[in-house]
Amino acid sequence: MTQALAVTGTVEATLPALFAPDARTAERVVEFFTARIRNPNTRKAYARAAGAFAAWCADHGLTELSQVRPVQVAAYIEGLQDKIAPPSVKLQLAAIRMLFDWLVVGQVVPVNPASSVRGPAHVVKKGKTPVLSAEEARALLDSVDADSPVSLRDRALIGLMVYTFARVGAVTKMRVEDIYVQGRRTWVRLHEKGGKRHEMPCHHNLDEYLQAYIEAAHIGADAKGYLFRTALGRTKQLSERPMSQADVYRMICRRAKDAGVRTRIGCHSFRATGITEYLRNGGKLEVAQQMANHESARTTGLYDRRNDQVSLDEVERIVI
Banded model confidence at residue 3, pLDDT cuts 50, 70, 90: very low
pLDDT mean over 226-246 = 92
The residues, ordered by sequence, that sit 6+ positions from 253 with a Cβ below 8 Å of its Cβ are none
User: 4-7 and 11-14: which strand pairing?
Assistant: antiparallel
DSSP 108-139: SSSS-TTTT--------SS-------HHHHHH
How many other CB atoms are there within 10 angstroms of residue 309's CB atom? 12
The model's pTM is 0.67
The residues, ordered by sequence, that sit 6+ positions from 29 with a Cβ below 8 Å of its Cβ are 5, 15, 19, 20, 50, 99, 102, 103
pLDDT mean over 261-270 = 88
The answer on pLDDT for 122 being more than 60 is: no
Which residue type is seen at 51? Answer: G
Burial (CB count <10 Å: 0-12, 13-18, 19+), residue 217:
buried
The residues, ordered by sequence, that sit 6+ positions from 56 with a Cβ below 8 Å of its Cβ are 76, 79
Across the chain, mean pLDDT equals 87
Supply φ then ψ for residue 5, to 5 degrees: -105, 110
Burial (CB count <10 Å: 0-12, 13-18, 19+), residue 284:
exposed
pLDDT of residue 309: 64
Torsion angle of C-alpha atoms 45, 16, 85, 42, degrees rounded to 10? 10
Supply φ then ψ for residue 222, to 5 degrees: -95, 70
pLDDT of residue 194: 67
Instruction: Quote the CA–CA distance of 197 and 36 in Å, as a whole number.
Output: 22
